[in-house]
Structure 1
Amino acid sequence: MTTPLISITDVRKTYGRGPNRFDALRGVSLDIHAGESLAIIGKSGSGKSTLMHLLALLDAPTSGRIELEGTDTSRLRGRALNRTRNKTFGFVFQQFFLTANTSVLDNVILPLKIAGVGRSDRKRKGLAALAQLDMQDKARNRAIDLSGGQKQRTVIARALVNNPRIIFADEPTGNLDSATGAVVEDILFALNREHGITLIVVTHDEDLAARCDRRIHIRDGVIVPEEVAA
């Protein structure tokens, strides 16, 4: 059997101490394989966003082990950790997190700038990513002037610009109307299906979750079986 792309074992995450202690995750174990699509479902406060942040190496667990292709990620520090995140992951968030008065292209190439890619290569790769989303004609537009759907396409282009192996999508259609949200969903699943990008979606949306190869339910910081979650 192939080594999982991401494997977590008995991961726990605690915030605060004493009477203010909060156990966000209470012993989660999970394997995620390359090329699959996975939905993480749960109510607000269930621990699903905490789990995503740990999977994406944006935070470290209080205890437990997180492996990326068999490598213990606790050994990654400083530049090595930043480089791994930058090269391996792309992020699509509900809130967009675009710099409003900056051009669409400048928003898209930000991960390349962080990675130290030269200016001409940044522009070439940024325009190529926008072309994948049919947004190349908006490259010079300010982000603030885009529609909600165009903003989310820009965010997806930014997520793609470094050729990531994994895309994390946190409520990717939450700020969009149903028709626009359906288009964005189609784009994400096409990237998963046609390019083999592993897709990890955090969502309240059962219809979106149902499109994934697999889904897990988080409740009170633990993974619960489907029949318990229902």
Structure 2
Amino acid sequence: MHEVTLRPPAPNDVLKTRDIRKAYGKGQSRFEALKGVSLAVAQGESLAIVGKSGSGKSTLMHLLALLDSPDSGELLVGDSDASTLSVHQVNRLRNEDFGFVFQQFFLIPNASVLENVTLPLKIAGVDRRERTERGMAALRQLELEDKAKNKATNLSGGQKQRVVIARALVNNPKVIFADEPTGNLDTATGSLVEDILFDLNRELGITLVIVTHDVELAERCDRRVFIRDGNLQPDGHHVTEEEFADPANGPAGSEVQS
């Protein structure tokens, strides 16, 4: 069994997992998405979780973002054990402390750009005037102020992703989770979106957790962890796209220890 040594948790870690496991289905159709993953995410860092389709990378992000719960193991948000949080506390964390940028834009097509951006504030019960002020401030930051009244359905792919980033920013989050954020964009537009995310990380100190199979995007992050078949790979192990495609490479069934 191959042991993976990750850096020990630090006082400024915003997210920590220890031996978390997650499976779907039952009987012969049961699939182990995560097989015991330990990971610490430091405040203000940019972290890439890299793996091919089906590796468990999106499952890991969903657990870190409290969009799903592990079957076993420990998940800490700051100093709080996620398993002890109430539904209200989880919803508050997701709405106020976390921002989300997905490959699928998840915009309301016939709503205006401003309405899409301010949706988290509406859910949080913020009054209309403050929603508008904060929404417009986020759009200005993404150079989309002139699109505020446009319908989301009329935007280009790059503009839609910038709207999604503005929506992620409107609550001044501590962490932004980005799942294949440039997957639906051409190379030039994707690079612009990447620049925006890393600028937010550097200038505002927002922790950035990116899930991707794109090695070049991952290399822009402060730190990379590689996941394969529900296990993290050895610390410092560089996995190429070709290696991801070859199931004969990499230590299968590795156990991650902190």
Interval of TM-score (by shorter of Structure 1 and Structure 2): over 0.9
2:162 to 144, 153, 173: 153
What is the aligned partner in structure 2 of residue 69 from structure 1? 78
Deviation, structure 1 residue 228: 7.0
Unmatched segments (≥5 aa) in structure 1: none
Query: 2-side partners of 1:184 and 1:228: how far apart?
Result: 25
Query: 2-side partners of 1:110 and 1:76: how far apart?
Result: 24
Query: 2-side partners of 1:16 and 1:149: how far apart?
Result: 36
Deviation, structure 1 residue 160: 0.2
What is the aligned partner in structure 1 of residue 50 from structure 2? 41
- The 3-state SS of whatever aligns with 1:5 is strand
Query: 2-side partners of 1:74 and 1:149: how far apart?
Result: 37
Deviations 1:120-170 (A, max 9, x none): 000000000000000011000000111111101100000000000000011
Deviation, structure 1 residue 77: 2.0
- The 3-state SS of whatever aligns with 2:13 is coil
Alignment of 1:195 with 2:238, yes or no, is no
| One-letter amino acid matched to 2:11 | T
8 Å CA contact 1:41, 1:48 repeated in 2: yes
Structure 1 runs of 4+ with >4 Å offset: none
| One-letter amino acid matched to 2:185 | L
Deviation, structure 1 residue 96: 0.6
| One-letter amino acid matched to 2:160 | K
Query: 2-side partners of 1:15 and 1:151: how far apart?
Result: 32
- The 3-state SS of whatever aligns with 2:218 is helix
Deviation, structure 1 residue 16: 1.6
What is the aligned partner in structure 1 of residue 34 from structure 2? 25
Moved more, 65-74 or 12-21: 12-21
Q: Show the 5 A alignment for 1:68-87.
A: 68-87=77-96
Query: 1-side partners of 2:141 and 2:153: how far apart?
Result: 21
Deviations 1:92-141 (A, max 9, x none): 01111101111000000000011111110000000000000000110000
| One-letter amino acid matched to 2:203 | E
What is the aligned partner in structure 1 of residue 189 from structure 2? 180
Deviations 1:158-208 (A, max 9, x none): 000000000001111111111111110000000000000000000111110
1:13 to 5, 22, 30: 22
What is the aligned partner in structure 2 of residue 223 from structure 1? 232
Q: TM-score, normalised by structure 2?
A: 0.87
Q: TM-score, normalised by structure 1?
A: 0.98
Deviation, structure 1 residue 84: 1.3
Percent sequence identity over matched residues?
A: 64
Query: 2-side partners of 1:228 and 1:145: how far apart?
Result: 41
Higher helix share: 1
